[in-house]
Structures are given as C-alpha cells and as structure tokens.
Amino acid sequence: MVKIYLDPGHGGSDTGAVGQGLQEKQLTLAIALKIRNILNNRYQGHQIRMSRMSDQTVSLAARTNDANQWGADYFVSVHINAGGGTGYEDFIHSSLSNHGTTGRYRQMMHEEIMKQVNLSNRGRKQANFHVLRESNMAAILTENGFIDHAADAAKLKSAAFLEQIAIGHARGIARTFQLSSKSSSGSSGSSSKNQGASSSGSGKTNSIVDYLKSIGEDSSFTNRARLASSYDIQNYTGTAAQNTQLLNAIRSGGTSGNTSSGSSAKRVHLPASASTWRTYPLNVTPVKKNSDWSLTPAAFGGLTYTILAEPYPNVVTIQTGRGRRNIYIGPDTSARRM
C-alpha cells in the first residue's frame, strides 16, 4: 500500500504569497483536497495523509516529522509562486540528481501536470527547501502559477483550473506508483497495484521484518539479534523501540560493530580498471535503479575508502565528496577488502 503525504503549503497565520485578491494558503488547500479526492475516487492501492485539511497553522518541522513518523513513500508539497514571473515549475532537493529515484518521480509528475495546466513551463529545478531536505522519503514541491501575475491569477480564480492542476498531480502520482484504476478488474489490475507498492515501499517500510525481507536479508529473530549486537543495541528482545532503533541504524548506515577490528579500520579498494562505480543514498535499497551518482576509480588510478558501516550483505558505507554513500562490493565485482 503506497503512502502519499499531501502538504498544502502555508495555512493559518501564514498566508503565504498574496496578490490579485488571492491568498496562497487558500489555493494550496483547495488543490490538495482535490488531489486527495481524485486519487481516492479514481485509484486504489494507496493511502493518503495530509499536513492540514483546514486553515490551520502547521510548522515546517511538524509537516516533515509527521510524514516521517507515518512512513510516507512520497511527499508532495503544493504551492503557488510569487515574485513577478509566470508559469509552472517544481523542485526536488538540491543534493539530488534528475536521474535518481526522486528525479525520475519528479519527471513523471512534471510531465503529467504540464499536460493539464495552461501555464508556461519554467522547468525542473532544485532547492534546499525544508520539506525537501528534512523528509525521509522522495519529495517534490510544486509551484502552480504566480499569484501576483495577472494572467496566472485569473486562471487561479477558476475552480475548473484548480481541478486541472489537481488532475495533473493525481495522474502523476498514479503513474509514478503504478496505481490501478478503480474501474479496472482482474489480475492485471492487482498486479499493477502490487508492483507500485513494492517499488515505492522498498526500503521505506516501518517494520524491521518487512525491511529485511525487502532487501533479501534473513528476518528471523536470531539474525535480528545478531544485527542489533553489531549496531551496539544491547540486550535485544525484539521490542518495538529496539526494532525502530535497529531499522534506523541499518537505513542510516550507522556505526556498526562489524566495521572495525581492534584499532584497525577496514578498508575497501576500487581498482583503476573500473571506469565507474555506482553509489547509493543511505536511505534507499542499493539496487541499480536507485543509484544516482557514480565514483570514477579509473580517473584516479583506483580509489581506497575506509569502511564506515556494512548495512547490507556485500554493501558498505563510505565517505565521499558528496557525503556518506553506500556501494556494492560483492564477489562478482573487482572490489578488494584491505
């Protein structure tokens, strides 16, 4: 079941942008509620949670904390722009590539929204916005026209136009997570729904058992106890608090007892014969489709890194120029432990 978190920007004491007799907080709520209704009425295989469903004040931290605690698969923040421009644009976090998971999600969202709205295309952009930075899941922030531009504002005053914006968002979400239509039937629809849940949920579940299964790891109590010990979680008995601690430690690539032997840290060498070596963000399953950046050992005559953690079998965490990343060093590669 895919979990979609809808975030109508601003609200309550925070009006957001204002112009042409409009307030951003009112428009974003109207659009988000329409997105929710379209998804619930037309599609299946998902759950929806909203940061607000009325004109209330909700801090940025409260929004991302709520989405993180709920275990959302996708965070969609809806906004209206201002500043003298015109058109539609969307954002993912500035640290992310257009070719990674979040970038691919955004590409589908962007395409579907642009099919529905009669606005100029300002492009796909990146920014260090709080909701993009602090959310643990893939996240997008959409800017749906300029409230202080006369032509854009005239469209935003139309309920029909807000409906088109919402349809674009809903179709983008449905396409991204392969949600099946409620009108579809038979095994093909069920298959589509399951594929969407599996694709988005990989690495995003709040259950340590489900998470270990999703990465092909033994989820038995014995193995969980072994993993807990390696992450310095003492006296593991399988309590909810310990399971959450273990899940967070594995996802983050936290310090593990497996990463060192005595005072000598383990290292891994990537040979010069490798032109590129895929890396993975710490919060995704390390499979090919989730790689969004590569190292270039050949350009440096080989690369050697200290192993900071071993969050999965044959996967290690290293410190790179882009921060901590996971890499695969299985026996089918030319990587060499040192």
Which of the residues 24, 112, 143, 310 is marked catalytic?
A: 143
Judge whether 10 and 24 are in contact, CB under 8 Å.
Answer: yes
Q: Name the residue type at position 327.
A: I
Nearest Cα neighbor of 117 from 149, 88, 154 is 88
Query: What is the DSSP-derived secondary structure letter of residue 14?
Result: B
DSSP 227-289: HHHHTT--S----HHHHHHHHHHHHHT---GGGEETTEEPEEEE-TT-S-EEEB-TTS--SGG
Judge whether 193 and 178 are in contact, CB under 8 Å.
Answer: yes
Q: Respond yes or no: is residue 111 known to be catalytic.
A: no
The vertex-19 CA angle with 16 and 25, nearest 5°, equals: 30
Alpha-helical runs (H) found in the chain: 24-42, 60-70, 101-116, 130-133, 150-156, 159-176, 187-201, 208-214, 221-230, 240-252
CB atoms within 10 A of CB 334: 14
Catalytic positions, written as ranges: 143
